[in-house]
């Protein structure tokens, strides 16, 4: 049994050009560089796998001494379903189906506590309380639907304080952990009984748009 870290970093990005590979930090590192460094603080280099269709990602893998998975263009676009991408990557890898797989996304540049995530997952899995782990950000605030109707509170006289609201948990994309065999069975990266690993507001930042990138970059430069 082993712990494996997969860093998916495709070349194409529709909203932010070269998102994973352009300069992000003040020391010149990209989002991919940053995530590799996070992974190396927790995993052995030969247990870290960058999955990409990009030559820049392949060069980064060589530069940092980690493994590289050559992903085909068909599984590196925004059309192919993500479950299909997951299965393609896992099926291509020559690793034990009993391995524990951590997905570490470069678009979460401020999350790096993978040791704590792994420790919690192994504990939960051994005790059979949870089948996977998902990093989440807890929201305890007021939500409206697209019609302006309240989703989690009653307006007017019954309006509660925010601390009285039932919390909602946003999947922030920072970390997903499960057994490889389970991921293949589910066609997904977490199951029906995930442990919700709560992260801070800063750790939850997920870069999806140019505004996200600029905002995160401004925080990193502080």
Q: What is the pLDDT of residues 80-123, one digit of tens each?
A: 999 999 999 999 998 999 999 999 999 999 999 999 999 999 99
Residue 37, pLDDT above cutoff 60:
yes
Please answer whether residues 137 and 172 qualify as being in contact, where contact means their C-beta atoms are separated by less than 8 angstroms. Answer: yes
Count the alpha carbons within 13 Å of 200 in the hemisphere toward its beta carbon.
7
What angle do helix axes 55-64 and 31-40 make, rounded to 10 degrees?
30
Q: What is the pLDDT of residue 174?
A: 97
Averaged pLDDT of the chain = 95
215 C-beta neighbours (distance < 10 Å), count: 13
List domains and CATH numbers for the chain.
Answer: 3-220 (3.90.550.10)
Q: What is the pLDDT of residue 195?
A: 98
Residue 202, pLDDT above cutoff 90:
yes
| Mean pLDDT value across residues 138-166 | 95
Q: What is the pLDDT of residue 100?
A: 98
Q: What is the pLDDT of residues 68-88, one digit of tens each?
A: 999 999 999 889 999 999 999
Q: What is the pLDDT of residue 1?
A: 53
Sign of CA dihedral 123, 129, 133, 134: negative
pTM, 2 dp:
0.94
Q: What is the pLDDT of residue 49?
A: 98
Calpha distance 222→159 (Å, rounded): 38
Closest of 198, 217, 3, 2 to residue 110, by C-alpha: 217
Q: What percent of the chain has pLDDT over 90?
A: 92
Residue 39, pLDDT above cutoff 90:
yes
DSSP structural state of residue 19 = T
């Amino acid at each position: 049994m082993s712990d494996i870290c997969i860093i998916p970093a495709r070349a194409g990005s529709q909203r932010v050009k070269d998102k994973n590979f352009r300069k992000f930090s003040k020391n010149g590192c990209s989002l991919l560089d940053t995530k590799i460094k996070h992974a190396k603080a927790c995993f052995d280099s030969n247990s870290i796998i960058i999955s990409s269709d990009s030559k820049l990602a392949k060069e980064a893998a060589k530069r940092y001494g980690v493994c590289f998975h050559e992903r085909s263009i068909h599984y590196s676009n925004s059309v192919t379903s993500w479950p299909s991408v997951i299965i393609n990557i896992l099926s291509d890898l020559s690793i034990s189906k009993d391995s524990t797989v951590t997905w570490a996304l470069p678009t979460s540049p401020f999350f790096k506590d993978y040791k704590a995530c792994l420790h919690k997952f192994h504990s939960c899995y051994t005790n059979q309380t949870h089948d996977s782990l998902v990093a989440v950000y807890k929201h305890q605030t007021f939500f409206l639907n697209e019609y302006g109707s309240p989703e989690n509170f009653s307006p007017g006289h019954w309006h509660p304080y925010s601390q009285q609201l039932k919390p909602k948990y946003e999947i922030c994309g920072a970390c997903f952990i499960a057994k490889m065999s389970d991921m293949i069975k589910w066609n997904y990266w977490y199951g029906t009984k995930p442990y919700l690993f709560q992260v801070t507001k800063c750790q939850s930042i997920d870069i999806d748009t140019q505004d996200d990138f600029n905002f995160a970059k401004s925080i990193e430069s502080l």
